Structure 1
C-alpha cells in the first residue's frame, strides 16, 4: 500500500502496558523495524497508521476519536493485542467501549465515518515478530499467508451427518460447521 515508508502513531487507549512494551520492543536494536522504513511518530498528524493497544475505555474515548480523526487519509489501523482486537477480558465491563470493532460501530453511528483498513494482531501480548509481520503486511513488504482449506470426501460427510444426528439426540450443543468438498461447500447444523 505505501511505497516508501510507514509512519506509525502509537495510541494506548486503556492498555495494561504489556502490548505497549512489545510495540516499543520492535523499535529496539534487536528487531529494528526502522530498517524497513517503519517509524514511530509523536503526532497523529504525521502518521500513516495508528497502532491501538488496549481496550477503548469511556474515559479515553474523546481523545481516541480526536487522534483517529487527526491521522490523514488513507490511514491504516493496527489493532495490537487481544484487548484492542476485541476488548480482551474487559469487553463487557461498564468502563470499556470494547475493541476496535465496537469503536468502528460508534464511529459509523455517531460521526458517519467509515472504518479504514485494519490489521488485527491478537495476543496477550503479541510477540514482537507478530507485530512486525502485521506492520510489514500494512507496509506491503509481505503477502498475507494463505489459510489452508481442508477438503473432505463425500463418505466422510455422510459419517459427519450421522455424528451430528447422534449428537442432537443426546441433546448436546452442536456448533455449526462448514465443510468444503471438491464439489462445493455444505453447511451442517
Structure 2
C-alpha cells in the first residue's frame, strides 16, 4: 500500500537534485532562494533531494573541474531514466571566469553528460531557474509514468 502511494506521488511531482561541481556558489544561493516563501518551489510539486537515485532532474551548478568530471558521470549514471539535466548559470556552460588557458576547468558540462536545458546568467534569477525546470520536467514526468505503466503490464 505504501509503495503504491509513493508511486502515485512520484508520478505527479518533480524531484530535483542539485549537483555543485565547484565555483563561487552564486547559483546555489539562487537555488536556495527557490525554497523561500517568495518562490515556494514545493507549490509547483517540485522537491529537492540529495540523492540522485530519487531525482527526475539534475541541476548542475559551477564549473566542472578535473576532480568532478568522473564524479559527475557517476552521479548521472545513478539517476533513473528518463534523465533530465539543467545547466544552471554560465559556469557549467562555458567555465565563465574560471576558464583560463591551460586551467583545470573543463567546460561545457555537455562534453561529459547530455544537457537538456541551459540557463544563462551569473547567477540566473530564481524565476528563470523555476521556469526552466517547469519547462523540461513535464516531459520527464510523462515518460516516467509511461515506464511505470509498462512495468505493471
Unaligned runs of 5+ in 1: 105-114, 142-189
**Counterpart in 1 of 2:54?**
46
Q: Which has the higher helix share?
A: 2
**Counterpart in 2 of 1:103?**
112
Q: Which structure: larger Rg?
A: 1
**Counterpart in 1 of 2:33?**
25
Per the normalisation by structure 2, the TM-score is 0.77
Deviations 1:113-144 (A, max 9, x none): xx2x5111110000011111111112339xxx
Shift of 1:3: 6.0
Q: How many pairs were matched up?
A: 129
The secondary structure found in structure 1 opposite 2:112 is helix
The secondary structure found in structure 2 opposite 1:79 is strand
Shift of 1:63: 1.7
The answer to whether structure 1 residue 61 and structure 2 residue 69 are counterparts is yes
Per the normalisation by structure 1, the TM-score is 0.63
Equivalents in 2 of 1:56, 1:27: separation in Å?
Answer: 25
Shift of 1:59: 1.4
Equivalents in 2 of 1:118, 1:95: separation in Å?
Answer: 25
**Counterpart in 2 of 1:133?**
131
Unaligned runs of 5+ in 2: 1-9, 140-153
Deviations 1:100-121 (A, max 9, x none): 22324xxxxxxxxxx2x51111
Question: RMSD across aligned C-alpha pairs, in angstroms?
Answer: 1.9
Equivalents in 2 of 1:69, 1:88: separation in Å?
Answer: 26
Q: Return structure 1 stretches of 4+ with deviation > 6 angstroms.
A: none
